[in-house]
């Protein structure tokens, strides 16, 4: 029986030392020390032995168990140490290797257009103003001569949050806020920013786009001042031979109101696919500030006049760079952005 225990001990030690992970080690321990192990069977037959044999075999079994437990603990520690070493090795950093190369980012083409326009307007004496994108109905519509029952509200499909809160449909609310803060003093300001309308997204429309609106309020301001300002801007953006023309239109917050066309900068007015053979490209809406708008902002319309205009950033960028799909601006594709 002692010989059998010696053989079991040798097998157990060999099996334990061959274990490659904790699962295999636990399996080896269960095989030689578990309830169904050979050593348990030996212990179950102790009643068949003499007193001397029981004493001798009992002592040997205790030595066996102690040795196997020590062997298991030693192997377990070795496995844990190996795991730690492997993890450290996998996380090892060779400081002599060159660093990873990160690709350069690109200034978004819409940002380039906005900054170009802002620089031009600042050079013409305008200041820059910004306002919240979540607006009050009061500033977005009512102070723009659009009371709650005005039919022209249907011209702009609006994202309403509450009855009085909405995502602004233009940057005109910024102009209303600036006029209130000015308290009847002259104003010369442009307001860039995002606007939102319930449009179906396609190649030329987006539910979210950008505008830069301009407002001038002072004594003796006329339509010729508006034409002069826009001519200066578009000649600097699109070329010195760019001309503009006004066509009668309607906007609730201006009177008179005009649609503004620019001469085609690609064909120089001769006619091409870009301008659909007309020599002209529709670019923005503008007009003289409506007297009601001036009154609501605290201005005397008999003393002060003003003009306002709104330029679509995406539209002018698409025209300038020959971009045929507005959705390209919002895909964050560096292959597209790096072209500009």
pLDDT tens for 6-65 read 777 787 788 888 888 888 878 877 777 777 777 777 777 777 777 777 777 778 777 778
Q: What is the pLDDT of residues 126-149, one digit of tens each?
A: 999 999 999 999 999 999 998 888
- Alpha-carbon distance of 170 to 131, in angstroms, equals 11
* Predicted structure pTM score: 0.67
Cβ atoms of residues 129 and 176 within 8 Å: no
pLDDT grade, residue 124 (50/70/90)?
very high
Domain regions of the chain by residue span: 2-90, 109-337
CATH fold of 109-337 reads BirA Bifunctional Protein; domain 2 (3.30.930)
Q: Quick one: average pLDDT of 303-314?
A: 95
- Alpha-carbon distance of 301 to 291, in angstroms, equals 5
Cβ neighbours of residue 159 closer than 8 Å, sequence gap 6 or more: 166, 167, 196, 197, 198
Q: What local confidence, expressed as pLDDT, does residue 216 receive?
A: 97
pLDDT grade, residue 295 (50/70/90)?
very high
Phi, psi of 306, deg, nearest 5: -160, 165
List the structure tokens of 318.
């698409």
Quote the DSSP letter at residue 170: S
């Amino acid at each position: 029986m002692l010989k059998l225990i010696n053989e079991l001990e040798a097998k157990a030690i060999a099996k334990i030392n061959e274990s490659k992970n904790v699962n295999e080690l636990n399996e080896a321990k269960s095989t030689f020390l578990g309830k169904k192990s050979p050593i348990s069977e030996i212990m179950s037959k102790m009643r068949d032995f003499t007193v001397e044999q029981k004493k001798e075999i009992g002592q040997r079994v205790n030595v066996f168990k102690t040795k196997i437990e020590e062997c298991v603990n030693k192997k377990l520690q070795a496995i844990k140490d190996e795991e730690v070493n492997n993890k450290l090795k996998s996380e090892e950093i060779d400081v002599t290797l060159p660093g990873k190369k990160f690709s350069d980012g690109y200034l978004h083409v819409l940002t380039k257009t906005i900054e170009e326009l802002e620089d031009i307007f600042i050079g013409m004496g305008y200041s820059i103003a910004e306002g919240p994108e979540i607006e009050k109905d009061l500033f977005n519509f009512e102070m723009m001569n659009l009371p709650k029952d005005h039919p022209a509200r249907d011209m702009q499909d609006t994202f309403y949050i509450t009855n009085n809160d909405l995502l602004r449909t233009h940057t005109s609310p910024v102009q209303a806020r600036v006029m209130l803060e000015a308290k009847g003093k002259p104003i010369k300001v442009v307001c860039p920013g995002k606007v939102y309308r319930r449009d179906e997204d396609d190649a030329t429309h987006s539910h979210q786009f950008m505008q830069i609106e301009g407002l001038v309020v002072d004594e003796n301001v006329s339509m010729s001042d508006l034409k002069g300002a826009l001519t200066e801007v578009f000649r600097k953006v699109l070329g010195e031979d760019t001309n503009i023309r006004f066509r009668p239109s309607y906007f609730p917050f201006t009177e008179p109101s005009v649609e503004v066309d620019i001469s085609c900068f690609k064909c120089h007015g001769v006619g091409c696919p870009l301008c659909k053979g007309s020599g002209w490209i529709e670019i923005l809406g503008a007009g003289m500030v409506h007297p009601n708008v001036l009154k609501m902002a605290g201005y005397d319309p008999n003393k002060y006049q003003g003009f306002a205009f709104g330029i679509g950033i995406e539209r002018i960028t698409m025209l300038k760079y020959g971009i045929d799909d507005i959705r390209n601006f919002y895909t964050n594709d560096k292959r597209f952005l790096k072209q500009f």
